[in-house]
Amino acid sequence: MRAMILAAGRGERLRPLTDTCPKPLIEAAGKPLILWHIEKLKAAGFTELVVNSAWLSEKIVSFLGDGARFGVHITHSVEGPGGLETAGGIIKALPFLGSGDDVFLVVNGDTFIDGDYSQFAKTPLPPDQKALLFLTSNPPHHPQGDFAISSSGSAMIRGAEYTFSGAALYRVSAFAGLPVQRLPLRPLFDAWIDEGSVSARLLAGQWFDVGTIERLHQTEDYIKALRH
Protein backbone atom coordinates (compact mmCIF):
# COMPACT_ATOMS: atom_id res chain seq x y z
CA MET A 1 0.00 0.00 0.00
CA ARG A 2 1.24 3.48 -0.83
CA ALA A 3 1.06 6.42 1.55
CA MET A 4 0.76 10.15 1.02
CA ILE A 5 1.87 12.85 3.43
CA LEU A 6 -0.03 16.12 3.03
CA ALA A 7 2.63 18.81 3.31
CA ALA A 8 1.37 21.77 1.27
CA GLY A 9 -0.04 24.02 4.01
CA ARG A 10 1.20 27.56 4.52
CA GLY A 11 1.28 27.29 8.32
CA GLU A 12 -0.12 30.75 9.04
CA ARG A 13 -0.57 30.04 12.75
CA LEU A 14 3.05 28.92 13.03
CA ARG A 15 4.44 32.19 11.78
CA PRO A 16 7.09 33.55 11.99
CA LEU A 17 8.64 30.05 11.97
CA THR A 18 6.98 29.21 8.66
CA ASP A 19 7.98 32.45 6.94
CA THR A 20 11.27 30.81 5.99
CA CYS A 21 10.64 27.14 6.75
CA PRO A 22 7.77 25.04 5.37
CA LYS A 23 5.55 23.65 8.11
CA PRO A 24 6.50 19.95 7.62
CA LEU A 25 10.18 20.82 8.17
CA ILE A 26 9.53 22.56 11.50
CA GLU A 27 11.32 20.52 14.13
CA ALA A 28 9.66 18.87 17.12
CA ALA A 29 12.22 17.73 19.69
CA GLY A 30 15.05 18.02 17.18
CA LYS A 31 13.44 16.26 14.24
CA PRO A 32 11.32 17.67 11.37
CA LEU A 33 7.64 16.80 11.72
CA ILE A 34 7.58 15.06 8.35
CA LEU A 35 10.53 12.86 9.32
CA TRP A 36 8.64 11.51 12.34
CA HIS A 37 5.99 10.33 9.87
CA ILE A 38 8.45 8.88 7.38
CA GLU A 39 10.26 6.83 10.01
CA LYS A 40 7.02 5.46 11.46
CA LEU A 41 5.64 4.71 7.99
CA LYS A 42 8.81 2.85 7.03
CA ALA A 43 8.71 0.83 10.26
CA ALA A 44 5.16 -0.22 9.38
CA GLY A 45 6.14 -1.32 5.88
CA PHE A 46 5.14 1.76 3.90
CA THR A 47 8.09 2.45 1.60
CA GLU A 48 6.38 4.01 -1.45
CA LEU A 49 5.50 7.53 -0.37
CA VAL A 50 4.04 10.59 -2.06
CA VAL A 51 4.56 14.07 -0.61
CA ASN A 52 2.72 17.12 -1.89
CA SER A 53 4.01 20.63 -1.35
CA ALA A 54 3.25 24.23 -2.25
CA TRP A 55 4.67 26.82 0.16
CA LEU A 56 8.48 26.74 -0.02
CA SER A 57 8.16 23.46 -1.89
CA GLU A 58 11.75 23.61 -3.10
CA LYS A 59 12.95 23.23 0.50
CA ILE A 60 10.81 20.14 1.04
CA VAL A 61 11.99 18.58 -2.23
CA SER A 62 15.61 19.40 -1.41
CA PHE A 63 15.43 17.97 2.12
CA LEU A 64 13.63 14.75 1.24
CA GLY A 65 15.08 14.08 -2.21
CA ASP A 66 14.00 10.69 -3.52
CA GLY A 67 13.82 9.33 0.02
CA ALA A 68 16.75 6.94 -0.40
CA ARG A 69 18.61 8.23 2.65
CA PHE A 70 15.52 7.48 4.74
CA GLY A 71 15.08 3.98 3.31
CA VAL A 72 11.95 4.81 1.29
CA HIS A 73 11.05 6.02 -2.19
CA ILE A 74 9.42 9.45 -2.34
CA THR A 75 7.51 10.92 -5.27
CA HIS A 76 6.91 14.66 -5.08
CA SER A 77 3.68 16.33 -6.18
CA VAL A 78 4.41 20.05 -6.35
CA GLU A 79 1.41 22.37 -6.44
CA GLY A 80 1.14 25.99 -7.49
CA PRO A 81 1.14 29.02 -5.19
CA GLY A 82 -1.44 28.67 -2.43
CA GLY A 83 -1.81 24.93 -2.83
CA LEU A 84 -4.89 22.90 -3.71
CA GLU A 85 -6.31 22.11 -0.25
CA THR A 86 -6.53 18.54 0.99
CA ALA A 87 -8.75 16.85 -1.59
CA GLY A 88 -7.27 18.87 -4.43
CA GLY A 89 -3.78 17.78 -3.42
CA ILE A 90 -4.85 14.13 -3.39
CA ILE A 91 -6.52 14.43 -6.80
CA LYS A 92 -3.39 15.97 -8.33
CA ALA A 93 -1.23 13.20 -6.86
CA LEU A 94 -3.67 10.40 -7.76
CA PRO A 95 -1.57 9.02 -10.68
CA PHE A 96 1.16 8.25 -8.13
CA LEU A 97 -1.18 6.49 -5.69
CA GLY A 98 -2.42 3.58 -7.75
CA SER A 99 -5.40 2.82 -9.94
CA GLY A 100 -8.89 1.38 -9.85
CA ASP A 101 -9.87 0.17 -6.40
CA ASP A 102 -6.34 0.35 -4.98
CA VAL A 103 -6.24 1.60 -1.39
CA PHE A 104 -3.78 4.19 -0.12
CA LEU A 105 -3.08 5.90 3.19
CA VAL A 106 -2.99 9.65 3.81
CA VAL A 107 -1.56 11.36 6.90
CA ASN A 108 -1.32 15.06 7.68
CA GLY A 109 2.23 16.35 7.76
CA ASP A 110 1.48 18.83 10.56
CA THR A 111 0.43 16.17 13.08
CA PHE A 112 2.35 13.92 15.46
CA ILE A 113 1.05 10.45 16.25
CA ASP A 114 2.57 8.43 19.06
CA GLY A 115 1.26 5.11 17.84
CA ASP A 116 2.05 2.07 15.73
CA TYR A 117 1.50 2.91 12.06
CA SER A 118 0.93 -0.76 11.30
CA GLN A 119 -2.65 -0.13 12.46
CA PHE A 120 -3.18 1.60 9.12
CA ALA A 121 -1.92 -1.36 7.11
CA LYS A 122 -3.81 -3.90 9.20
CA THR A 123 -7.19 -2.14 9.06
CA PRO A 124 -9.17 -3.36 6.04
CA LEU A 125 -11.21 -0.95 3.93
CA PRO A 126 -14.52 -2.74 3.24
CA PRO A 127 -15.08 -3.27 -0.51
CA ASP A 128 -18.24 -1.13 -0.55
CA GLN A 129 -16.50 1.81 1.16
CA LYS A 130 -14.66 4.75 -0.40
CA ALA A 131 -12.78 5.73 2.73
CA LEU A 132 -12.05 4.85 6.32
CA LEU A 133 -11.13 7.70 8.65
CA PHE A 134 -9.20 7.40 11.89
CA LEU A 135 -10.80 9.54 14.57
CA THR A 136 -9.53 10.65 17.96
CA SER A 137 -10.92 12.21 21.13
CA ASN A 138 -11.67 15.91 20.81
CA PRO A 139 -8.64 17.93 21.96
CA PRO A 140 -9.02 21.10 24.07
CA HIS A 141 -8.50 23.35 21.04
CA HIS A 142 -11.26 21.57 19.06
CA PRO A 143 -14.04 20.64 21.52
CA GLN A 144 -16.71 20.91 18.83
CA GLY A 145 -15.42 17.77 17.11
CA ASP A 146 -15.93 16.71 13.50
CA PHE A 147 -17.79 13.39 13.29
CA ALA A 148 -19.31 10.51 15.23
CA ILE A 149 -19.36 6.74 14.87
CA SER A 150 -22.62 4.82 14.46
CA SER A 151 -23.94 2.50 17.15
CA SER A 152 -22.71 -0.39 15.00
CA GLY A 153 -19.20 0.86 15.63
CA SER A 154 -18.08 1.15 12.03
CA ALA A 155 -20.01 3.72 9.96
CA MET A 156 -19.04 7.38 10.19
CA ILE A 157 -21.96 9.71 10.77
CA ARG A 158 -22.54 13.40 11.39
CA GLY A 159 -21.85 14.38 14.95
CA ALA A 160 -19.34 15.98 17.30
CA GLU A 161 -18.06 13.08 19.36
CA TYR A 162 -14.64 12.76 17.72
CA THR A 163 -12.03 14.75 15.79
CA PHE A 164 -10.59 13.63 12.45
CA SER A 165 -6.90 12.84 12.93
CA GLY A 166 -6.01 13.45 9.29
CA ALA A 167 -5.10 9.77 8.88
CA ALA A 168 -7.36 7.86 6.51
CA LEU A 169 -7.52 5.05 4.01
CA TYR A 170 -8.94 5.96 0.60
CA ARG A 171 -9.81 4.09 -2.54
CA VAL A 172 -8.30 5.57 -5.72
CA SER A 173 -11.66 5.20 -7.46
CA ALA A 174 -13.22 7.59 -4.89
CA PHE A 175 -11.33 10.47 -6.52
CA ALA A 176 -11.19 9.24 -10.12
CA GLY A 177 -12.69 11.66 -12.61
CA LEU A 178 -12.60 14.65 -10.27
CA PRO A 179 -10.84 17.67 -11.82
CA VAL A 180 -7.67 19.03 -10.28
CA GLN A 181 -8.91 22.05 -8.38
CA ARG A 182 -8.67 23.75 -5.00
CA LEU A 183 -10.93 21.51 -2.92
CA PRO A 184 -11.06 20.52 0.77
CA LEU A 185 -11.98 17.00 1.85
CA ARG A 186 -14.99 17.92 3.99
CA PRO A 187 -17.52 18.22 1.11
CA LEU A 188 -16.51 14.75 -0.06
CA PHE A 189 -16.85 13.36 3.46
CA ASP A 190 -20.35 14.79 3.74
CA ALA A 191 -21.37 13.27 0.41
CA TRP A 192 -19.90 9.90 1.39
CA ILE A 193 -21.74 9.97 4.72
CA ASP A 194 -25.00 10.48 2.80
CA GLU A 195 -24.08 7.53 0.58
CA GLY A 196 -23.08 5.37 3.51
CA SER A 197 -19.71 4.82 1.86
CA VAL A 198 -17.33 6.00 4.60
CA SER A 199 -16.26 4.11 7.71
CA ALA A 200 -14.42 5.17 10.85
CA ARG A 201 -12.16 3.67 13.48
CA LEU A 202 -10.61 5.12 16.60
CA LEU A 203 -6.93 5.97 16.24
CA ALA A 204 -4.69 3.95 18.54
CA GLY A 205 -2.16 6.30 20.09
CA GLN A 206 -1.70 9.85 21.30
CA TRP A 207 -2.36 12.49 18.63
CA PHE A 208 -1.21 16.08 18.34
CA ASP A 209 -2.28 18.72 15.83
CA VAL A 210 0.88 20.82 15.60
CA GLY A 211 -0.89 23.83 14.16
CA THR A 212 0.29 26.59 16.49
CA ILE A 213 3.49 27.46 18.31
CA GLU A 214 1.82 26.61 21.62
CA ARG A 215 0.85 23.15 20.41
CA LEU A 216 4.33 22.67 18.92
CA HIS A 217 5.76 23.23 22.40
CA GLN A 218 3.21 20.81 23.88
CA THR A 219 4.25 18.19 21.35
CA GLU A 220 7.92 18.72 22.11
CA ASP A 221 7.26 18.39 25.84
CA TYR A 222 5.40 15.12 25.23
CA ILE A 223 8.21 13.67 23.09
CA LYS A 224 10.88 14.70 25.60
CA ALA A 225 8.89 13.05 28.40
CA LEU A 226 8.83 9.80 26.40
CA ARG A 227 12.62 9.82 26.28
CA HIS A 228 12.98 9.89 30.08
Q: What is the pLDDT of residues 112-136, one digit of tens each?
A: 999 999 999 999 999 999 999 999 9
Q: Name which of 164, 51, 167 is nearest 105 in CA terms.
A: 167
Structure confidence at residue 18 as a pLDDT band (50, 70, 90): confident
Structure confidence at residue 16 as a pLDDT band (50, 70, 90): confident
Q: What is the pLDDT of residues 77-112, one digit of tens each?
A: 999 888 999 999 999 999 999 999 999 999 999 999
> What was the pLDDT predicted at 228?
66
> What was the pLDDT predicted at 17?
79
Tell me the CB-side half-sphere exposure of residue 90, using CA atoms within 13 A.
Answer: 28
Query: pTM for this structure?
Result: 0.95
Q: Which of 46-50, 56-60, 64-68, 137-141 has the lowest mean pLDDT?
A: 137-141
Summarize the confidence of residues 11-27 as an average pLDDT: 87
Summarize the confidence of residues 180-190 as an average pLDDT: 97
* 132 and 125 Cβ atoms separated by less than 8 Å: yes
Give the type of residue at 86: T
* 26 and 63 Cβ atoms separated by less than 8 Å: no
Fold of 2-226: Spore Coat Polysaccharide Biosynthesis Protein SpsA; Chain A (3.90.550)
> What was the pLDDT predicted at 14?
81
Distances (CA, A) of 98 to 27, 60, 169: 31, 23, 13
According to DSSP, the residues that pair with 104 across neighbouring strands are: 2, 170
Where in the chain are the domains?
2-226
Mean pLDDT value across the chain = 94
